[in-house]
Amino acid sequence: MGTDDIRSALSRTSFDFRRPNGVDLIERTQGFHDWLETCFDYGIWSYGRATDQGPRRHVAILNDRGERTEGVNFASQDYLSLAAHPEINAAAHEAIDTYGVHSAGSPALVGNTSSSLSLEEKIADFVKADYVSLFPTGWAAGFGTITGLVRPFDHIVIDALAHACLHSGAQAATKNISLFRHNQVEDARKKLAKIRAKDTENGILLITEGLFSMDSDSPDLAAMQELADEYQATLFVDVAHDLGSMGPTGRGVLEKQNMLGKVDIVMGSFSKTFASNGGFVATRKCGVREYLRFYSSPNTFSNALSPIQTAVVSKAFDIVASDEGRTLRDRNARNGIELRSFLKMAGFDVYGTLSPIVCAHIGEEDLGRVMGRKIAELGLIANLVEYPAVSRKQARFRFQVMANHTSHDTIAASRILANARSEVTDEKGRLKPLDELSWGPAAQSPLTAMAKVKEIGGTDEQAPSIAATG
Ligand SMILES: Cc1ncc(COP(=O)(O)O)c(C=O)c1O
């Protein structure tokens, strides 16, 4: 082990291993494995970790080597903290009592249950659509809707930063893909105009998201829908992150922008706010729902959501729509406001606008990874996002705020991030020479970590609330 190894490991990214060469498909995974081993040796790999508890505000996590860290958790996406809600738990138990644990088959055969059918109606009502189709995951809903509707002669115009399920769906559906610059309506217009100048016969799917989860920003959806109408395109909006967690009644960015019931196709996931696997697509046309049931592989050739999942999601929608849901959203927003302020006070640039996602800019990938090691030691669990998930030199820590976080947690998180940065950087904010940093075992003692979190963030009672004081 030496600084040359660390330097070499830090200089590479997962992108370097995406196209391994060689005749043996199994053997050629070895290069990636070797790189990961080195990253583990130096504690600079912070992905693929597991918890043995629910997505609580304080959790213990284990990496692939079984090394345990514990800390304040901003890496789960249970935005309204519904995963621990007693009524949701009870709904899951009741579903088992009624249906048993259940795996009935494809929605194209007899996989649906009365529970899944009524959930479809509930969601349609919630998002002011007429028809909803459920999918096994949000990924499947995105990929499956695009590949279900778009054929090789059609076109896709997609935000360059849209989620991987949308880009993968686009690539599987057609070669005619145009990327437009993130959230730039005029750039999307140019792409649409160019396509329509040559092709007035085939379809165009215009794809964007309600809330982008690496940047915490949103497009102008009215302008996007107008654009789609002007060029005879169909607008598709993925609301995975904002539905339930944002908007006065939880109807997300569509509600905030007065676009409920006005977008051609809305796709969502249950894995953020709704405490379960699963996803959906909502439309105004019955034909879309029917067509996707038989021409969208993840719908036709995969299992329907189980009654346990549909009961959980259905109860989650009830809570989201209730006064309690509003209170939980307010708490989430209060935590988001506090975390954004504390991070800015600590000198970090924070991306986008208020949402359950708060990203702090770091820049260089190597600095992000070394800080990732440090924050784990200090008792903070937050996801490092780096190339290729975002552009090169745009690494950031992504904090996902939950309703049951407290001011103590947001203070601890921002101070730990600031302490981590000051421990590993020089006076100009650059990563210190690698031989000046300590590279011993990264695993921490959980007790020490939580004691540090308390020391750094104060207790819940002591912590001031910016939102509470206006
Ligand atoms: C914008 C967006 N769309 C779709 C998905 C996929 O959803 P799921 O986790 O339900 O598969 C995600 C999850 O990461 C997402 O962030």
428: burial class by Cβ within 10 Å (0-12, 13-18, 19+)? exposed
Structure token pair of residue 338: 């506090």
Give the residue from 342, 440, 359 showing the smallest Cα distance to 394: 359
Task: Check which CATH number belongs to the domain holding 425 and give it.
Answer: 3.90.1150.10
pLDDT of 399-445, one tens digit each?
Answer: 999 999 999 999 999 999 999 999 999 999 999 999 999 887 665 65
Looking at the CA of residue 270, tell me the nearest atom of ligand 1.
10
Average of per-residue pLDDT across 196-218: 98
Residues 147 and 76 placed together within one structural domain of the fold: no
pLDDT of 336-359, one tens digit each?
Answer: 999 999 999 999 999 999 999 999
Residues 145 and 269 placed together within one structural domain of the fold: yes
Kindly state whether residue 55 falls inside one of the protein's structural domains: yes
Q: In this predicted structure, which of 58-62, 189-193, 433-437, 459-463 has the lowest mean pLDDT?
A: 459-463
Give the residue from 376, 301, 362, 325 showing the smallest Cα distance to 144: 301
pLDDT above 60 for 77 = yes
Task: Check which CATH number belongs to the domain holding 146 and give it.
Answer: 3.40.640.10
Average of per-residue pLDDT across 180-196: 98
Residue 276 Cα to ligand 1 middle (Å)? 12
Angle between helices 365-378 and 446-457 (to 10 degrees): 100
The predicted pLDDT at position 346 comes to 96
The predicted pLDDT at position 133 comes to 97
Which percentage of the chain shows pLDDT scores above 90?
A: 88
Domain that holds residue 389: 42-81+325-457
Which percentage of the chain shows pLDDT scores above 70?
A: 95
The predicted pLDDT at position 54 comes to 85
For residue 311, CA distances in Å to 90, 314, 364, 397 come to 9, 5, 44, 34
CA distance 266 to 238: 6
Residue 133: beta bridge partners?
281
Kindly state whether residue 17 falls inside one of the protein's structural domains: no
Helix (H, G, I), strand (E, B) or coil at 267: strand
Kindly state whether residue 89 falls inside one of the protein's structural domains: no
Residue 2 Cα to ligand 1 middle (Å)? 39
pLDDT above 80 for 461 = no
pLDDT above 80 for 463 = no
Average of per-residue pLDDT across 89-98: 96
Kindly state whether residue 336 falls inside one of the protein's structural domains: yes
Final residue of a structural domain among 272, 305, 338: 305
- Please, which pLDDT band fits residue 465 given cuts at 50, 70 and 90? very low
Residues 235 and 338 placed together within one structural domain of the fold: no
pLDDT of 297-308, one tens digit each?
Answer: 999 999 999 999
Average pLDDT, the chain: 93
Using CB distances shorter than 6 Å, the residues near ligand 1 are 137-139, 142, 163, 165, 209, 213, 238, 240-241, 269, 271, 279
Residue 458 Cα to ligand 1 middle (Å)? 34
Average of per-residue pLDDT across 45-70: 90
The predicted pLDDT at position 140 comes to 98
Residues 159 and 296 placed together within one structural domain of the fold: yes
The predicted pLDDT at position 52 comes to 82
The predicted pLDDT at position 469 comes to 31
Q: In this predicted structure, which of 318-322, 339-343, 453-457, 466-470 has the lowest mean pLDDT?
A: 466-470
Number of structural domains the chain divides into: 2
DSSP string covering 1-29, please? --HHHHHHHHH--GGGGSS--SS-TTGGG
The protein residue with its alpha carbon nearest to ligand 1, atom 8, reads 138
Residue 81 Cα to ligand 1 middle (Å)? 18
Average of per-residue pLDDT across 323-347: 98
Residue 138 Cα to ligand 1 middle (Å)? 5
Give the residue from 364, 446, 450 showing the smallest Cα distance to 409: 450
Distance of CA 10 to the CA centre of its chain: 25
The predicted pLDDT at position 378 comes to 93
Kindly state whether residue 2 falls inside one of the protein's structural domains: no
- Asked if 253 and 218 touch (Cβ cutoff 8 Å), the reply is yes
Kindly state whether residue 157 falls inside one of the protein's structural domains: yes
CA distance 107 to 112: 5
pLDDT of 52-63, one tens digit each?
Answer: 888 999 999 998
Kindly state whether residue 393 falls inside one of the protein's structural domains: yes
The predicted pLDDT at position 439 comes to 85
Give the residue from 250, 288, 242, 246 showing the smallest Cα distance to 120: 288
